[in-house]
Structure 1
């Protein structure tokens, strides 16, 4: 089979297309013929500098394809099942940038008939992160379903990004009023297409006043992508006992915390990353996301607010450069069938 591998940390040029033997699924595992591989910032960050752990790694956490073999203890009936994959390369050498990959069976989630492989490959890190961001508030909910966020207002910072896009879609599916912040008209168009009820340009004169116009009682949950840059704005619009769920600090600005201000607000500041969220939280997120996909709540494509930027497998290095360069939308790698 064809696979992308790297043997040392470094830039995109360390990625190589090679021939490898078909992997064999072990107990509790499935082998998947990959159709589309999704690329996330975590993938290039791992390639650039995370401890290797293995002599050779095939990158990418997310993807979609068809189960073609199962290991001991897995229902043989899963062979032929269309699935979406998450955390394929987490602590393992076999990610989705290959014609075949092997993952734990629970990391291969059935893909509903109405959802294509592009949708499946765009789930994983963005959708599970969004789910986590929306389910850590003190007042709940801990699970998402239609009606779970009725009466709540969610602020999706960076509403045109992959996680922001998933936050908008999942929050709206669960019944929240959703406000997205963006950096200009084009990204405002994308956040609106994703389903945001209101969109605010955070570079405007007084974005806090604009957000408060839509949410006079304050924001219940902020899903934050750039905590250092946006914390002052978040606190200016957060309701008492509200939650800021932060999954990144884009721009790298240091976080300066006004302790008395947060004490008065009873702010919950929740940091999150999937690797250490725990298996129960990840399993619950995967189940809820699968239900949202079944309901048609997580479409992709420019008309749904998430443009797809495609590369063939042999140009995976270019796909990594696109993600590192801040490509707007979801970067996908098409795997030859």
Structure 2
């Protein structure tokens, strides 16, 4: 089968197509024929060596939507030929024609969701869902990078939980985010959010770095600052460092929101895995509204 691999850390050009044997599912695992995967910021950070997954070679891709090709021993609840989607963790990711995933991290793909949009959801939606787990109705939440892959889903999940949503985003994304239910938006290129925002109950920081200490200034004394990337706010008692965990149970809750018409995923571009280097360049620009999706060679 074909897969994307890299022999060294570096820029997008280290990614290359190789031929490798098709994997076999072990106990508790499912072999999925990949219909689509997506690009997350973690992908290019791992590729470049900023986030360590181990030494190359390895295959990236934390999201998958596709068809069950084989079941490992002990797997129940799925059948060969069934359409599924979910998260993949490990050195052999979904930038490939087939991938092995833990059965507990997969769920059935709803008929209303095509593979492209299903592949855009797992990592980003699960991150948003888990990061906002403590958000209560009536609270004010500030979401940084609100139009991004995780951010635009977090806006909708927060709205579904009856929170008041504020966000930082470029001005050309404000109309989009208002349509998703955001109440107040700040163009970070023109306005320092600390001068116009006050008394929020939660900050979801999808930017990190110097946004941390600045975010603490707009947070209530008993508020929560949830950091998904690493920032200069570490050490404050309100600081929470967040890491996503694959969860089929959470994905089923997310599917329920989709079925109810309360959550949709924005797909910015669909590219072939043959164009994976270009997809990484676009992702690294930081100017993507929603998600970039990759489909197998020749299927774009």
TM-score (norm 1): 0.79
Q: 1:224 aligns with which of 201, 205, 208?
A: 205
Q: Secondary structure at the match of 1:171?
A: helix
Deviation at 1:44, TM superposition (A): 1.3
| Separation in structure 2 between the aligned mates of residue 47 and residue 102 of structure 1, nearest angstrom | 20
Which position in structure 2 is the counterpart of 1:175?
162
1-structure distance, mates of 2:57, 2:207: 32
Choose which of 224, 232, 240 in structure 2 pairs with 1:270: 240
CA–CA distance in 2 between the matches of 1:208 and 1:193? 24
CA distance in 1, matches of 2:181, 2:215: 21
**Hey, what does 2:122 align to over in structure 1?**
124
Find the aligned partners of 2:125 and 2:4 in 1 and give their Cα distance. 25
Q: In the TM superposition, what is the alpha-carbon distance from 1:209 to its structure 2 partner?
A: 5.4
Query: Equivalences for 1:153-232 in 2 at 5 Å?
Result: 153-182=140-169, 184-205=170-191, 207-208=193-194, 210-212=196-198, 218-232=199-213
1:96 paired with 2:80, answer: no
Matched, 1:296 2:261: yes
Aligned to 1:333: 294
Structure 1 alignment gaps of length 5 or more: 142-148, 213-217, 302-306
State how far apart, in whole Å, the 2-side matches of 1:66 and 1:60 are.
16
Aligned to 1:144: none
Deviation at 1:228, TM superposition (A): 3.6
Cα gap change, 1:38/1:205 in structure 2, threshold over 3 Å: closer, same or farther? closer
User: What is the CA–CA distance in structure 1 between the aligned matches of 2:52 and 2:241, rounded to whole Å?
Assistant: 22
Aligned mate of 2:218, from 212, 237, 240: 237
Contact 2:121 2:265 in 1 (8 A): no
User: Contact 1:8–1:52 at 8 Å: present in 2 too?
Assistant: no
Matches of 1:126 and 1:29, distance apart in 2: 22
Specify whether residues 333 and 151 from structure 1 end up closer, same or farther in structure 2 by C-alpha distance, changes over 3 A only.
same
Task: Output the aligned Cα RMSD.
Answer: 2.5
In structure 2, the CA distance between the partners of 1:241 and 1:224, relative to structure 1 (3 Å rule), is same
Q: 1:11 to 1:55 in 2, by over 3 A?
A: closer
Decide whether the 8 Å contact of 1:85 with 1:107 is kept in 2: yes
More helix by share: 1
Instruction: Say if 1:16 and 1:204 are closer, same or farther in 2 by CA, change over 3 A.
Output: closer
The 3-state SS of whatever aligns with 2:264 is: coil
- Tell me the SS of whatever aligns to 2:150: helix
Deviation at 1:55, TM superposition (A): 6.0
Aligned-pair distance for 1:94?
1.9
1:58, distance to aligned residue in structure 2 (A): 1.7
- 8 A contact 1:118–1:300 mirrored in 2: no
Distance across 1 between alignment mates of 2:263 and 2:84: 15
Counterpart Cα distance in 1 of 2:270 and 2:103: 27
Change (3 A) 1:47 1:232: closer
Instruction: Flag the 1:51–1:153 CA change in 2: closer, same or farther, 3 A.
Output: closer
- Cα distance in 2 for partners of 1:40, 1:173 equals 24
Distance 1:25 1:326 in 2: 36
Q: What's the CA shift for 1:256?
A: 6.2
Asked if structure 2 preserves the Cα contact closer than 8 Å seen for 1:119 and 1:298, the reply is no
Instruction: State the secondary structure of the residue aligned to 1:156.
Output: strand
**TM-aligned CA distance change 1:79 to 1:293, over 3 Å:** farther
**What CA distance in whole angstroms lies between the structure 2 residues aligned with 1:78 and 1:189?**
42
Describe the shift of the 1:13–1:204 C-alpha distance in structure 2 as closer, same or farther (beyond 3 A).
Answer: closer
Instruction: State whether structure 2 residue 39 is matched by structure 1 residue 39.
Output: yes
Residues 106 and 248, structure 2, Cα contact 8 Å, conserved in 1: no
Task: Report the Cα offset of residue 76 of structure 1.
Answer: 6.8
Displacement of 1:199: 1.5
